[in-house]
Amino acid sequence: MNKAFITLIILLLINGCGLLSFEYKKPEPPVPAEWNLKTENSNASLPKVNEIKWQDFVTDERLKKIIDAGLKNNKDLRLAALNVERTMALYGIQKAELYPAIGASGSYSKQREAADFSRTGKAPTTDRYGLNIGITSWEIDFFGRISSLKDAALEEFLATQEAKRSTTILLIATISEAYYTLAADRELLKIAKETLKTQEETLSIIKSRYNVGISTEIDLQRAQSQVENAKIDVAALSQQVSKDINALNLLAGETIPETLLPQDFSDISQPKEIAIETKSEVLLQRPDIISAEHRLKKIYANIKAARAAFFPRISLTTSIGTASNELSGLFGSGSGIFSFTPQISIPIFDSRIIAAYEATKVERDIAVANYEKTIQTAFKEVADVLTIRSTIGEELSATNAYLKALYETYKLANIRYEKGLDSYLSVLDAQRSLYLAKQRFVNINLLDIISKTRLYAVLGGGL
């Protein structure tokens, strides 16, 4: 009987090993092998994204302090860290299933028997002392079900770790963008206030000219409308600056002192340039893609566990100990006891096992699709930033030349108006064009700085 039982176990092991062999296959990235873009900063002398830490990439010392505060206080990052701790604990629980749980117990019972059941015709009282140590229902993992679940828990833990890295990189980039945006909006507010001051001075001059009959009433009304329009811009930009500060405080998780906030564009230090990676395989080092791959591996482990559920489960319960009717006799001769209970359960028909296996295969297809989509999204993010980086230099140069030309136009329009050669409408058009060009120049400079930061982040830099 024992030989037959052992033979059955060996046959099941041999067949099971073949049926459970299911290796992970990494999907091919569904994107082109490289970006077909040429940029000015693809110089080999520049550091690559994985060669420069965020502390070196960010050169503004005040911004570094704000980022440090965010890494300590930001609640999204805190939640990501707690998720890592939780999955690590769950992995420890699942790993412990591989090993037997050993426990010890002590017992005492006192029992009185009825006189009718006693040979002596008296009602005897029996004392029983016991002490046991043993294994409580340990499943022996012959077919890899428990080890597969352990591997799945490990992959989930690793995926959560990468998710925390991704959250950290996103936080660093978001704080940087908020900081630079605040500098740009304060620059725009500064321009609006300067424009308002100029418009008020112009209105004062036109009022004087109007009072002596040199300027017309329509010129006076036009000048007045420009003053009111400038006041609207100042109020709107003041509101936006306050919102920018609120957003930065939220990201940092604390109120940032004014001494750490930028006053305008001249008050910030731009991030470093990094080399452009031409091969799209660099995306595979992004934490969100690594996380998606770990979750795909987790599903493969779940499939192995689901396959193993078709095979017998072998469990063992055993204990050794001592028992006596007297406490002093627990360790005397003849008091030893033991129990050895192996058990095997074989699923014959259970539709739940079949359905669970089919579900894991569908989950695998979903995980593959998510993995491929994550890579495609990352490729698009990098391609979008590279598109900006490839043209931003020309845009800045052209906008700067345009701005200089408008300065000259505005100066000439003022001269012609003062000499009576032209109406105030030409001055008004020149002022409006110059004001819009100044705003565009600030926004393009902001786009230049933010695109550097985004490039660093979307390539997986930061840690």
**pTM assigned to the model:** 0.82
Residue 18 confidence (pLDDT): 46
Q: Are 374 and 288 in contact (CB under 8 A)?
A: yes
Q: The tokens of 29 are what?
A: 């990235």
- Decide if pLDDT at 111 tops 70: yes
Pairing of strands 102-112, 336-345: unpaired
Residue 242 confidence (pLDDT): 96
Query: Which stretch, 93-97, 148-152, 215-219, 338-342, has highest mean pLDDT?
Result: 148-152
- Decide if pLDDT at 284 tops 90: no
- Decide if pLDDT at 100 tops 90: no
CATH code for 100-140+312-346? Answer: 2.20.200.10
Residue 169 confidence (pLDDT): 92
Of the candidates 94, 96, 98, the residue with the CA atom closest to the CA atom of residue 149: 94
pLDDT class of 64 with cuts at 50, 70, 90: very high
Task: List where CATH 2.20.200.10 sits in the chain.
Answer: 100-140+312-346
Residue 21 confidence (pLDDT): 56
Q: The tokens of 63 are what?
A: 């911004």
Residue 1 confidence (pLDDT): 45
Bigger pLDDT: 9 or 271? 271
Mean pLDDT over each residue of the chain, to the nearest integer: 84
Q: Are 310 and 353 in contact (CB under 8 A)?
A: yes
Locate all alpha helices (DSSP H) within 212-267, ordered by sequence: 217-252
Residue 414 confidence (pLDDT): 82
- Decide if pLDDT at 19 tops 80: no
Q: Are 382 and 35 in contact (CB under 8 A)?
A: yes
pLDDT digits over 371-388, tens only?
A: 999 999 999 999 999 889
pLDDT digits over 294-324, tens only?
A: 999 999 998 988 888 888 888 878 888 787 7
Rounded average pLDDT over 362-372: 92
**What 3-state DSSP class applies to 345?**
strand
Rounded average pLDDT over 43-61: 86
pLDDT digits over 430-447, tens only?
A: 888 888 999 999 999 999
Task: List where CATH 1.20.1600.10 sits in the chain.
Answer: 25-98+143-309+351-458
Q: The tokens of 185 are what?
A: 């909006």
Rounded average pLDDT over 64-76: 93
- Decide if pLDDT at 67 tops 70: yes
Burial call 427-438: b when 16+ CB within 10 Å, e when fewer: bbebbebbbebb
Q: Which residues pair with 133 in a beta bridge?
A: 104, 320
- DSSP label at residue 462: B
Q: Are 140 and 40 in contact (CB under 8 A)?
A: no
Q: Which helix (H) or strand (E) holds 336?
A: strand 336-345
Architecture of the domain spanning 25-98+143-309+351-458: Up-down Bundle (1.20)
Determine what percent of the chain is predicted with pLDDT higher than 70.
Answer: 91
pLDDT digits over 262-279, tens only?
A: 998 888 999 998 888 778
422/210 Cα distance (integer angstroms): 16
195/187 Cα distance (integer angstroms): 12
Residue 451 confidence (pLDDT): 93
- Decide if pLDDT at 185 tops 90: yes
Rounded average pLDDT over 324-331: 71
Rounded average pLDDT over 79-95: 88
